[in-house]
A and B are shown apart, each in its own frame.
Chain A
Amino acid sequence: MKDTPLSNCERDFLIKAIEEKKRLDGRQTYDYRKIKITFGTDYGCCFVDLGQTRVVAQVSCELVAPKESRPSEGIMFFNIELSPMASPAFEQGRQSELSVKLNRQLERCLRNSKCIDTESLCVVSGEKVWQVRVDVHTLNNDGNLMDAASIAAIAALSHFRRPDVGIQGEEVTVFSPEERDPIPLSIYHMPISISFAFFQQGTFLLVDPCEREERVMDGLLMIAMNKHREICSIQSSGGIMLLKEQVMRCSKIASVKVSEITELINKALFNDRTARKAGRKCGFAESLPQERITALKTDQSEVEMTDVSERASDIIQKAEAPPPMAASPVLPAPGVGQVGHGLQNTWGLEEDEEQEEESSGEEEEIKMEEEQREKDKTTEAVVEISDSEEEEVVILYPETTKKPKNAGSSSDQKGAAASKKRQKK
């Protein structure tokens, strides 16, 4: 599905508004939208709302073999999934330019800045290390996905706890959370990406562009920083031409914003920790806004069960009795040598013929069994039944002659099958 195009009027209006230092949602030039951070029920799950933009990050881990070049370092894997839920323009399973851009920026922001101690993720050097995987799903795209994703990813990583492992000689035991408390990752610092949008060839600058603003902007500058005012990555994109002074100004703004956001993340983590310690319910379900008119919640409820049993048995009684099970082994079709029980063959055989023969075949079989028994009595010494004998057996039956030649020969084979069965017994 294509994105709804932006009309020229809207475009002109937006640009004019920006020139007058006004924004659609009433923010100032350097204002961020409201950030809300909530954590899920399990460790390492984080929801971030940045205004209307919404993302969820989930951290997971597994034991894998390390990379050959780095045998004693854990592996970090990042993936931003541009789910079609976020915007109709996102298609599933396609590597778009935007997705490459976001993924690489997140990698650069979190992996290259070495904010996580990967050496502590090593279990057995050269054999087993933890692979930590961060999945960021976009739920709603109202601009500035990068900042929301970077906040969600680092908050989820700080919230995550991996299972404890014990090593005894060669044996590695992974303890479940019940056995031993899971341990948090060691995080050195929290890089957070801040986006700046440029308009009119860099004359105007906005922090945290919303979706409409992103559509009319000329270019974007993303600066990832931590609260120690260390720049972790800078990336400019779009065909803009920046001046050095602009970059310097952006980096100053970024440092202020980052310290604010870091504070917010720490507060959210602290709140979650205290809630967990107190044994209260925490998680996404609890964060459901109760006061909104669009939301409703019920308590646990019992289901009325008084007449369920009766109704069920009623239905069964009313229903037709299931077809009786076939008691004896059935030969599904002529030409099939079958031993023991089995299902009916559903291969493309002509139905009518099959039916006919089945009944006659059964008769035959019984008769043949009798015949065989007699034979066994008389010639007990004979174990092997030769072909000629079998032919004789078939010829004994007059009804086979009534049938077309083809069927006759097939029942012949069946006779052979039946006799073989007896032999096995």
Chain B
Amino acid sequence: MMEVSASSVSLREFGCEQTLLSRPDGSASFVQGDTSVMAGVYGPAEVKVSKEIYDRATLEVLIQPKVGLPGVRERSQEQCVRETCEAALLLSLHPRSSLTLILQVLHDDGSLLGCCLNAACMALMDAGLSMSCLFCGVSCAITADGRIITDPTAAQEKESRALMTFAIDSTERRVIMSSTKGSFSVHELQQCIAVSQKASEKIFHFYRDSVRRRYSKNL
């Protein structure tokens, strides 16, 4: 059986700033080590007739790469983020309206999808949209010798055998979304999920701290 060495399992330093853009209804930038993503949310607003859904809001997620135009990679990431947000948001509260979430990649140094999810959650919180739970993204990499690395850097991602990203909800620490690459055993998958759940506590704690700090001053 594989042993998990504790040394590799750490989260890089992370930071977040909310309400940093004036135009969007909610905005946040999330920094994990050198990876950083900026998110902006517009809505609920008027929706195009072709995209209208009669009983809930239409959520649109756009991911802008730093160089060039969005391609297939971005589309698949958009899908992952959109499905996670749809699971968390109470979309039925805003029927026939549109929500737009735009994520701008500012620097990619590994765990990009995880960082996108975190930025998205912070921006949705900032926009004041009702959610059934919060969510966070955790990326894990399994190295060639079977060690698990959480929040890998780009170099670590490159050398890893498998890469997984989980979205975890805040109420029961369940997995909302998983995106995996590479080969791994069932045991390894379960271990990664367990590690991610542990790591998610840190991130949710950080969410709580930053929100508490934000509302610490009474007006």
Direct A/B contact, Cβ within 8 angstroms: yes
- B-contacting residues of A (Cβ < 8 Å)? 1-2, 40-42, 45, 52, 54, 56, 58, 60, 81, 83-88, 92, 133, 135, 137, 139-142, 283-285, 288-289, 292-305, 308-309, 311-313, 315-316, 322
Bound form: Cα–Cα A60–B68 in Å: 9
Q: Which of B30-38, B82-90, B127-135, B161-169 contacts A (4 or more CB under 8 A)?
A: B30-38
- How far does the Cβ of A140 sit from chain B's closest Cβ, in whole Å? 4
Residue B191 contacts which of A58, A295, A312 (CB distance < 8 angstroms)? Answer: A312
| A139 near B4: Cβ-Cβ < 8 Å | no
Q: A294–B214 contact, CB under 8 A? A: yes
A294 and B191 contact, Cβ closer than 8 Å, known pairs A87-B23, A137-B64: no
Contact A296 B209 (CB under 8 A): yes
For A304, list chain B residues within 8 Å (CB).
198
Report which of B6, B15, B67, B70 forms a contact with A305, defined as CB distance below 8 A. B6
- In the complex, are the beta carbons of A86 and B23 less than 8 A apart? yes
> What is the CB-to-nearest-CB distance from B98 to chain A, in angstroms, rounded to a whole number?
6
10 interchain residue pairs of minimum CB distance: A297-B15, A296-B210, A295-B17, A85-B102, A312-B191, A85-B40, A312-B190, A140-B21, A52-B22, A305-B6
Shortest distance between the CB of B142 and any CB in chain A (Å):
13
Question: In this assembly, does B10 line the interface, its C-beta being within 8 Å of a C-beta of chain A?
Answer: yes
> Is A308 a contact partner of B100 (Cβ separation < 8 A)?
no
Query: Is the beta-carbon distance between B36 and A284 smaller than 8 angstroms?
Result: yes
Question: What is the predominant secondary structure among interface residues of chain B facing chain A?
Answer: mixed
* Alpha-carbon distance A293/B212, docked complex (angstroms): 10
**Closest CB of chain A to B155's CB: distance in Å?**
12
- Given A285-B31, A303-B9, A309-B191, A83:B102 Cβ within 8 A: yes
Shortest distance in angstroms between A296's beta carbon and chain B's nearest beta carbon? 4
User: Within the complex, which residue of A1, A58, A298 is in contact with B206, where a contact is CB–CB below 8 Å?
Assistant: A298
11 A-B residue contacts at CB 8 Å? Answer: A85-B104, A137-B66, A139-B21, A140-B21, A140-B24, A284-B106, A298-B13, A301-B11, A305-B195, A312-B187, A313-B187
Question: Can you name the residue of chain B whose Cβ is closest to the Cβ of A304?
Answer: B198
The number of A-B residue pairs with CB atoms under 8 Å apart is 171
- B213–A293 CB distance below 8 A: yes
Number of interface residues of B (CB under 8 A): 64
- A169 smallest CB distance to B (angstroms): 32
B104 adjacent to A83 (CB under 8 Å): yes
Q: A83-B62, A297-B15, A305-B9 are in contact. List 6 more A-B contacts (CB 8 A).
A: A1-B100, A283-B107, A296-B15, A296-B209, A309-B1, A313-B190
B129 to chain A, nearest CB (A): 16
Taking each of B23, B40, B213, which has the highest tally of chain A beta carbons within 10 Å of its own beta carbon? B23
Contact indicator A303/B186 (Cβ below 8 Å): no
Q: Which residues of A contact B33 (CB under 8 A)?
A: 285
CA distance A334 to B198 in the complex (A): 50
A78 to chain B, nearest CB (A): 13
Inside 8 A of A45's CB, which chain B residues have their CB? 66, 106-107
In the bound complex, residues from chain A placing their C-beta under 8 Å from that of B216 are 293
Task: Provide the residues of chain A in CB contact with B195, threshold 8 Å.
Answer: 303, 305, 308
Question: Are A309 and B107 in contact, CB atoms less than 8 angstroms apart?
Answer: no
Contact between A139 and B104, CB atoms less than 8 A apart: yes
- Chain B contacts for A58, CB-based, 8 A: 66-67
Residues of chain B touching chain A, judged by Cβ–Cβ distance below 8 Å, are: 1, 3-4, 6, 9-24, 27, 29, 31, 33-34, 36, 38, 40, 42-43, 45-46, 62, 64, 66-70, 98, 100, 102, 104, 106-107, 109, 150, 186-187, 190-191, 193-195, 198-199, 202, 206, 209-210, 213-214, 216-217
Give the Cβ gap from A162 to chain B, nearest Cβ, in Å.
14
- Closest residue of chain B to A54 (Cβ to Cβ) is B21
B181 CB to nearest A CB, Å:
20
Question: Would A142 and B40 be within 8 Å (CB), given that A58-B67, A295-B15, A296-B210 are in contact?
Answer: no
Which residues on the B side are within 8 Å of A289 (C-beta)? 17
Q: Which of A135, A285, A293, A301 has the most chain B CB within a 10 Å cutoff?
A: A285
Q: Give min CB distance, A14 to chain B, whole Å.
A: 17
Q: Are B6 and A56 in contact (CB under 8 A)?
A: no
Q: Which residues of A contact B202 (CB under 8 A)?
A: 301, 303
User: In chain B, what residue has the closest Cβ to A285?
Assistant: B31
CA distance A412 to B10 in the complex (A): 62
- A189 nearest CB across to chain B (Å): 26
Q: Which of B3, B62, B68, B150 contacts A309 (CB 8 A)?
A: B3
Taking the closest CB of chain B, its distance from the CB of A63, in whole angstroms, is 15
**Pick the contact of B38 from A2, A85, A296, A297 — CB < 8 Å?**
A85
**Residue in contact with A303 in the complex, picked from B11, B42, B191, CB distance below 8 Å:** B11
Whether A300 contacts B24 by the Cβ 8 Å rule is no
Q: Chain B nearest CB: distance from A2 CB in Å?
A: 7
Q: Quick one: closest A residue to B7, CB to CB? A: A302
In the assembled complex, which residues on chain A have CB atoms less than 8 Å from the CB atom of B214? 293-294
Do B190 and A41 touch across chains, with their CB atoms under 8 A apart?
A: no
List the B residue with the shortest CB-CB distance to A3. B23
Q: Which residues of B contact A42 (CB under 8 A)?
A: 107
The answer to whether B187 and A85 have CB atoms under 8 Å apart is no
Contacts of B23 in A (CB 8 A): 52, 85-88, 140-142
Cα of A293 to Cα of B190 in the assembled complex, Å: 38
Chain A residues near B186 (CB, 8 Å)?
Answer: 316, 322
User: Are A301 and B17 in contact, CB atoms less than 8 angstroms apart?
Assistant: no
Q: How far is the CB of A384 from chain B (nearest CB, A)?
A: 44
* Closest CB in chain A relative to B185 CB, distance in Å: 10
Q: How many Å lie between the Cα of A52 and that of B20 in the bound state?
A: 9
Q: In the assembly, what is the distance between CA of A297 and CA of B32, in Å?
A: 10
| Residue among A45, A302, A303, A309 having the largest count of chain B Cβ atoms under 10 Å | A303
